[in-house]
Structure 1
Amino acid sequence: MTTVKEQHQIQAEFKSRMDENELLNCMRCGFCLPTCPTYIESGFQESHSPRGRIALMKAVVDGLIEPDEDFERSLNMCLGCRACEPVCPSGVNYGHLLEEARDIVAQNKKHSLPVRAIRKTVFEGVFPYQHRMRTLTGLLGVYQRSGIQKLVQKSGMMKLFPDNLATMEKVLPSVPTIKEMKNRPNHLESIGTKKKKVAFFSGCLMDTMFMKTNDATMKLLQLAGCEIVIPTSQTCCGALHGHSGEKNQAKELARRNIAAFEEIEADYIITNAGGCGAFLIEYDHLLKDDPTWAERAKVFSNKLKDITSVLVELEFHKKELVLPSQIITYQDSCHLRNVMKTASEPRLLLQSIQGATFMEMKNADSCCGSAGIYNIVESEMSMKILDSKMENVKNTEAKTIVTANPGCLLQMKLGIEREGLSDKMRAVHIVDLLVEAVESHNVKL
C-alpha cells in the first residue's frame, strides 16, 4: 500500500514526466474498447480500458485524484498488448504512456522486503547476465532429465501450487545442457548464394530455454541466403524491465545492445520473439532524451526485422515446403503485430506449406493472456482471456497452433492442457514448423 508521502511524490513526478500532449491526444472516442481484452473480460469496466487508464493518468497529473491502490491496480491489470494503438484515430502512443506511468509508480513506492529482494534478483542479478541465465536454465534441465520432474508430478506435489503454475510446469520445453548452451556459434555462412548479411539477436530466454528454436531460426536464415553474425556481447533486450517499472535498467541494457551490434555492418538485425522485437525496435524512443545514444538508437531500430519478415523478403515462401495433411492456425504475437507491424508475413509463410490447410482463427489478433509474466501475477484475468482464446482455437479444428513469441507459445500450450487436448493438438513456434516443412522431404539439414 502506498503512503500519503509516496502518493504525493508519484503525483509530482506524473506532473513533470508524463507527456501531457500525448494524454490530451485521446479523444475518448471509444474505438479502443472492443480491442481491449481486460475491458471485455472485466465486464466492460472503464477503468480497465485504454481510454479509462489514460483518463486516470490525466487526472493524477491534474491533481484530481490520488495515485492510490485502485489507480495502481488499473495500471497493473493492463496486458500491455497495445491492440488499442492501431485502431486509435488520434494515434495515441498508449504503450509509451503505460511504461512511463508504471516506472513512476514503481520507483516511488516502497515495496515489501520480499518483493524488493525478488525484483533485485530478477532485474539486476539474473537477466542482464547470460551465464547466470544458463546456470538457472541448466538446473531446470537437470530437474527434467534426472527423473525428479516425473517423481514430483506423480507425488501430487504440484497440487500445492496454483493450477496454471502446475500446468505450466508440464508444458515447459525440454531444456538443453549447460554445455550445449555454452557452445553457441557467433558466425555462420549462408547456404548457397549469399543475399544478405544479418546480425541475430539471440536473446536471453530464447538462447537458453528455447535454444532449439534459435537453432531453427539460424538454419532458416542460412537457407534463405544469409550470412549470420551473433554478437557475443549482446544482452537481455530489457523488455521485462521496461514493462515492470525498471526503465533506467532497460536503458542500460539498450546501450549495451546497441554497442554490441553497431560494430557489425549488417543489413538487418533479426529477432524471432515478438516481445523482444517490439522493445528493441523502440530503443529510439527509450533513449530519445540521451544525446549520446539517441542517434545510435535510431540506426539500431531501423535495422530491426522479425525473422518472418526477412524470410518473405528473400522469397523463402517460394521454396518447397511440405507437411503431412493437417489444419494449422496462427495466433498473433501482440507486439509483433501491433508494434513491429508484422502480420501478413507469418500467414504468407504458413499458407505456402503444401499439405497443410491454413485456417484463420477468429480474433487471432487479440491477446492470448501471456504478456510476459502477466499469466503469473494476474493469473485470474489471464486464464479468462486464455479460455476465450481456446474457444476460437477449437472452432478452427486445427491440429497445430502456430505462434511467433515464446510467451505466446507457452500460453497456448497451457491452453491445450487446460482443455484436455494434448493428444489432438500442439502449439509450435513458426520457425520450428518451417524447419519441419523443409526437412519433411529433404535429407535432414
Structure 2
Amino acid sequence: MKNEQLIQQQFQARMNEDELLNCMRCGFCLPTCPTYIESGFQESHSPRGRIALMKAVVDGLIEPDEDVERSLQLCLGCRACEPVCPSGVRYGHLLEEARDIIAQHKRYPWFVRLVRHVVFKQLFPHPKRMRMLTALIGFYQRSGLQALVRKLGLLRVLPNHLAMMENVLPNVPTWKQMNERPTHIEAETKRKKRVAFFSGCLMDTMFMDTNDATMKLLQLVGCDIVIPPAQTCCGALHGHSGEKADAKTLAKQNIEAFEALDVDYIVTNAGGCGAFLIEYDHLLKDDPIWAERAKAFVAKIKDVSVILVELGFHLEGWRLPEQIVTYQDSCHLRNVMKTANEPRLLLQSISGVEFREMKDADRCCGSAGIYNIIEPDMSMQVLDYKMEQVKQTKATTIVTANPGCLLQMKLGIEREGLTNVRAVHLVELLLEAVEATKEANEPVKQTG
C-alpha cells in the first residue's frame, strides 16, 4: 500500500471529525496567525486553511502530499487562534494528531531518522543524559574551547542564526551542581502552601538558575516545596513533533512521580512545559487506566506567577533601579494556561519599573520549541517583527516566562545590536527586586 494511502486511512480513523466540522471558516483566526501574515496571507498557512486541508484528506478529496505536510510543519503551534475562535475549535489538538499520523508513517531519510531517534528516545526522556550533555556544553564554555572556536571563526560554518544562538546560550552549571539538586525545601516564613515543583529537563540543566530563582521566590511567599526526583521531561517536544506515543509514556511517568504527594499545587515556570502538562488529561483521555489519574494531576497545575499573586508577592513593595520593562507573552502560557495578567501585575508592582506594553505582545516570537532551528527563515521573519515592537517601547529589559522565548529574545537583541537591552525570565527579575530591596533596607554598618 502506498504511504499516502496509509496516512489517509489514519486521518480517517484518528482525526476528530466533529472538531474539524466545528470550524465555521469565519476567519477570526487569520489576524492572529503569524505564519499567515508572514507568508503574504496564504490561506494554506492559516489555521482555517490547515483545518480545511485536514478535512479534505479525511474526506478523500486530496492526498496527504508534501504540500499538506509543508503547511502543517510551517505552523508555529502557538495556538493564538484558539482564544479568538467563536466555535472553540481546539486547533492545537488537531495539529498534534495530524503531525503524529504523518510522522509515524513518513519515510524519513536515514540521517533524519537517526537524529529523531537520538533526540526523542535517547536524550530528552533520560535526565542523566541531559545533564551529561549540558556538562559538555559547560566544559566547552569554561575550558577556553569556546573562546578558541570564536577566535578562529569556526562558527562561520554554521548558518548565521545558529552561530548567534551559540552566543546567547546561558552559562550552564557544572556536573556537580546538576547532580546536587534538592528534593525538599522549607518555606522561609510561616507555611501557607505545600507545593510540588516541576523542574523539567532543560530548565533544571541549561536554565538551572531560573529554577533556583523560582524556588527562592516560592520559599519567600511561604511555600514548602517538594521536588520529586522521579519526574522527567514533560513530553511537549515529543507531542508537538509527531511522537505522541513517547509523550504518553513520559506523561505517565510524571503523573506517577507527583500523584502520591500531599500538595496544594504542582508549580511550573516554563510556559511550554506547563501548557503540555495541563493537557495530560486530553493526551490520555482514551486510556481507561490513566484518564482519571491525569485529570487529578492536571487540576493541580499552576504557573509560578499565579501562585506568587495568590500569596501576595506583589503587595510587598519591592524595588529596583529605574528601568523600562516590557513583557513578551509565552504563547502557551497565555493561550493554553490562560495566564496573562499575573506576570504583568507582578512587574507593575515593582517600584522603579516603568512597564510599557508592546504592540502584539501576545504574538509568537518565533521560538516555538525547536522551530527556530528547523524553520529558520520563518522564525527569523517572525522575530524581526517582534523586535520592531520591542524597539518601539524603548525598553531596556525584556521579560518573558519560557526558556525558548528567552533565548529567542536574546537572539533578537543580538541580531539588532541592542547593546543596552537585556532579556530575562520573569522570576529572575522578581528575585533581583527582592535582593535589591533587602540590600537597600539593610542598616548601614558603622566603621571605625
| TM-score, normalised relative to structure 1 | 0.98
Q: How does 1:367-382 map to 2 (within 5 A)?
A: 367-382=364-379
Q: SS of 1:199's equivalent? A: strand
Matched, 1:223 2:226: no
Partner of residue 434, structure 2 = 438
What is the identity, as a one-letter code, of the residue corresponding to 2:209? K
Q: How does 1:168-187 map to 2 (within 5 A)?
A: 168-187=165-184
Moved over 2 A (4+): none
Matched, 1:195 2:192: yes
Unaligned residue ranges in structure 2 (runs of 5+): 443-448
CA displacement 1:402-430 (0-9 Å, x = unmatched):
00000000000000000001x21000000
What is the identity, as a one-letter code, of the residue corresponding to 1:191? E
Question: By how many angstroms is 1:99 displaced?
Answer: 0.1
What's the C-alpha RMSD, in Å, of the aligned pairs?
A: 1.0
Partner of residue 384, structure 1 = 381
User: Sequence identity, in percent?
Assistant: 72
Q: How does 1:35-434 map to 2 (within 5 A)?
A: 35-421=32-418, 423-434=419-430
Q: SS of 1:441's equivalent? A: helix
Distance, in Å, in 2 between the alignment partners of 1:441 and 1:246 is 46
Q: SS of 1:440's equivalent? A: helix
Contact 1:134-1:208 within 8 A present in 2 as well: yes
Partner of residue 446, structure 2 = none
CA displacement 1:142-166 (0-9 Å, x = unmatched):
0000111111112111111111000
Question: By how many angstroms is 1:441 displaced?
Answer: 2.3
CA displacement 1:232-284 (0-9 Å, x = unmatched):
00000000000000000000000000000001011000000000000000000
Question: By how many angstroms is 1:111 displaced?
Answer: 1.1
CA displacement 1:199-255 (0-9 Å, x = unmatched):
000000000000000000000000010000000000000000000000000000000
Q: SS of 2:287's equivalent? A: coil
Question: By how many angstroms is 1:320 displaced?
Answer: 2.5
CA displacement 1:11-33 (0-9 Å, x = unmatched):
00000000000000000000000
What is the identity, as a one-letter code, of the residue corresponding to 2:136? L
CA displacement 1:358-405 (0-9 Å, x = unmatched):
000000000000000000000000000000000000000000000000
Q: SS of 1:141's equivalent? A: helix
Question: By how many angstroms is 1:443 displaced?
Answer: 4.5
Distance, in Å, in 1 between the alignment partners of 2:109 and 2:62 is 25
What is the identity, as a one-letter code, of the residue corresponding to 2:85? C
Distance, in Å, in 1 between the alignment partners of 2:61 and 2:369 is 32
Matched, 1:28 2:25: yes
What is the identity, as a one-letter code, of the residue corresponding to 2:382? I
Structure 1 stretch displaced more, 9-18 or 105-114? 105-114
Contact 1:320-1:438 within 8 A present in 2 as well: no
What is the identity, as a one-letter code, of the residue corresponding to 1:171? V
Distance, in Å, in 1 between the alignment partners of 2:2 and 2:272 is 35
| TM-score, normalised relative to structure 2 | 0.98
Partner of residue 445, structure 2 = none
What is the identity, as a one-letter code, of the residue corresponding to 2:331? C
Q: SS of 2:438's equivalent? A: coil
Distance, in Å, in 1 between the alignment partners of 2:182 and 2:385 is 41
Distance, in Å, in 1 between the alignment partners of 2:152 and 2:391 is 32
Distance, in Å, in 1 between the alignment partners of 2:325 and 2:360 is 15
Distance, in Å, in 1 between the alignment partners of 2:318 and 2:17 is 51
What is the identity, as a one-letter code, of the residue corresponding to 1:182? N
Unaligned residue ranges in structure 1 (runs of 5+): none
Q: SS of 2:2's equivalent? A: helix
Q: SS of 1:198's equivalent? A: strand
What is the identity, as a one-letter code, of the residue corresponding to 1:355? G
